[in-house]
Amino acid sequence: MDKDGKYLKRGVDYPIIQGKRTLPGKYYHDEKIYQQELEKIYYKFWIYACRAEEIPSSGDFKLIQVGDESIILVRDKSMKINALFNVCRHRGTQLCTEPKGNFSSKSILCPYHAWAYELDGKLLGAPLMKEENGFHKDNFTLHKAHVHEWEGFLFISLATTPEPFEVQMEALMGKFSEWNMAELRIAHHIRYELNCNWKLILQNYQECYHCPGVHPLLSQLTPFQSAQHDSSKGAVIGGFMELTKERGSMTMDGEAAAPPVYDVSGDDLQRVYYYSVFPNMLLTPHPDFVMYHHITPLGTGKIVNDCYWLFHPEIINDKQAQKGIISAVEFWDLTNKQDWTVCEQMQTGTKSMRFDRGYYSGREDILYALDQELLKALGHDNPEEDGE
Ligand code: FES
Ligand SMILES: [Fe+2]
């Protein structure tokens, strides 16, 4: 917002930002910088992991890949969710390789020498090992990461002492409570495997300068000049765009896919919000559903992007309502693929020996803010020289 409390408009009348340059190309390709990102961001910040509804029962688990680390997100007997490092305390073997499932024995068994752990990480038993000579089961609990649930979304932090969730996610606190997202359910999921750096997806998500050319259909439903941002500092940045169609939504025909969810009302009935939850989640609440992306970096130029659609459970179970869900999924799948194409081309282009740094237009000011957040986290004061 500006000093008078008005929203800043990212429109055609906004001038080019003097001297605001993009990140140098090495930030998308350099292995050293990627390792710094893992250490200083992915192993430190709160990062998105999965929905609580994905592990609803005792024993349910899902593996979460964070850089070189694997975390078992598991619901224990008391229904508490634990984030356990997927590493045996005996000799370091990876305990679990299934991406998700249920520990039906209610324990986690190491495949090597059969040490067994409870679902809260405590060592249950180690064959032939007596509790003597300094070996005490209590000292061999699996290492744990921190877990925080917000609106049905589970976040984890691998830091020993993370910053409080509410501090990192300040701009999210109290935001979107009308959607009652904890009660929404996954209606659809598409996994995209992409050849680009994770940051290019965040950048792409936060500007609509590319929309007229890349997304002709989206531009009819929400004109790119309607983009406004209401949080432009810190780990959570975002804003909204206005829907052209009265009570419409982002679907193939622009009609709402379902009635508004829970208490969504007033201006929010005509808005689609775009929030990047740095570093690995993009949250898009519509009046009638919520779409979100979960980004998993797998290298400098490789990511998995899991895209989910959340709907009201009654809509998911209503046969008549399936058309709306399909239309929302089709629209975003089409739009996503249009975005992925340009992101992958940017990944290739920024590797050129002739590319050093680009220039931000006035409609990309929030990307500059995003870059500053990254550089601050990395401790880079001079991006042209840092990371060498
Ligand atoms: S490494 Fe796990 S029991 Fe030996
Ligand atoms: Fe786009």
Distance from residue 296's CA to the centre of ligand 1 (Å):
28
Query: Contact at 8 Å (CB) between 255 and 245?
Result: yes
pLDDT classification of 6: cutoffs 50, 70, 90: very low
Looking at all shown ligands, the one closest to residue 341's CA atom is 2
pLDDT classification of 288: cutoffs 50, 70, 90: very high
Q: Is 113 in the pocket of ligand 1 (CB under 6 A)?
A: yes
pLDDT on residue 16: 55
CA angle 34, 378, 280 (to 5 degrees): 60
Type of residue numbered 218: L
User: What are the chain's domains?
Assistant: 8-44+177-378 (3.90.380.10), 47-162 (2.102.10.10)
More confident of the two residues 384 and 119: 119
Query: Contact at 8 Å (CB) between 197 and 38?
Result: no
Query: Contact at 8 Å (CB) between 299 and 32?
Result: no
DSSP 359: B
Q: Is 90 in the pocket of ligand 1 (CB under 6 A)?
A: yes
pLDDT on residue 5: 37
Residue 359 CB partners (closer than 8 Å, separation 6+):
16, 20, 21, 22
Query: 86, 89, 91: which to mutate for ligand 1, most atoms within 8 A of CB?
Result: 91
Mean pLDDT for 333-348 is: 98
Distance from residue 114's CA to the centre of ligand 1 (Å):
6
Rounded Cα distance, 257 and 189, in Å: 16
pLDDT on residue 10: 45
pTM exceeds 0.85: yes
Q: Is 117 in the pocket of ligand 1 (CB under 6 A)?
A: no
Atom 3 in ligand 1: which residue has the minimum CA distance? Answer: 113
Ligand 1 atom closest to the CA of 95, numbered from 1: 2
Cis before residue 259, ω within 30 degrees of 0?
Answer: no
Looking at all shown ligands, the one closest to residue 112's CA atom is 1
Mean pLDDT for 31-51 is: 98
pLDDT classification of 18: cutoffs 50, 70, 90: low
| Residue ranges with strand state E in 223-319 | 228-231, 236-242, 271-277, 281-285, 290-299, 302-311
Instruction: Indicate the angle between helix axes 198-205 and 322-349, nearest 10 degrees.
Output: 120
Mean pLDDT for 325-340 is: 98
Q: Is 36 in the pocket of ligand 1 (CB under 6 A)?
A: no
pLDDT of residue 17 exceeding 90, the answer is no
| Residue ranges with strand state E in the chain | 8-9, 47-51, 60-66, 69-75, 81-85, 100-102, 107-109, 116-118, 123-125, 144-150, 153-157, 185-194, 228-231, 236-242, 271-277, 281-285, 290-299, 302-311
pLDDT, tens digit, for every residue of 105-126? 899 999 999 999 999 999 999 9
pLDDT of residue 13 exceeding 60, the answer is no
DSSP 82: E
pLDDT on residue 269: 97
Atom 1 in ligand 1: which residue has the minimum CA distance? Answer: 91
As residues whose CB is below 5 A from the ion ligand 2, the structure lists: 339
Rounded Cα distance, 65 and 61, in Å: 13
pLDDT of residue 327 exceeding 70, the answer is yes
Ligand 1 atom closest to the CA of 115, numbered from 1: 3
Query: 115, 124, 135, 143: which to mutate for ligand 1, most atoms within 8 A of CB?
Result: 115
**Phi, psi dihedrals of residue 258, rounded to the nearest 5°:** -165, 170
pLDDT of residue 7 exceeding 50, the answer is no
pLDDT, tens digit, for every residue of 186-209? 999 999 999 999 999 999 999 999
pLDDT, tens digit, for every residue of 210-254? 999 999 999 999 988 888 887 777 889 999 999 999 999 999 999
More confident of the two residues 386 and 155: 155
Rounded Cα distance, 226 and 242, in Å: 6
Looking at all shown ligands, the one closest to residue 123's CA atom is 1
pLDDT on residue 226: 81
Q: Is 88 in the pocket of ligand 1 (CB under 6 A)?
A: yes
375, containing H or E segment = helix 365-378
pLDDT, tens digit, for every residue of 44-95? 999 999 999 999 999 999 999 999 999 999 999 999 999 999 999 999 999 9
Ligand 1 atom closest to the CA of 89, numbered from 1: 2
Query: 87, 113, 123: which to mutate for ligand 1, most atoms within 8 A of CB?
Result: 113
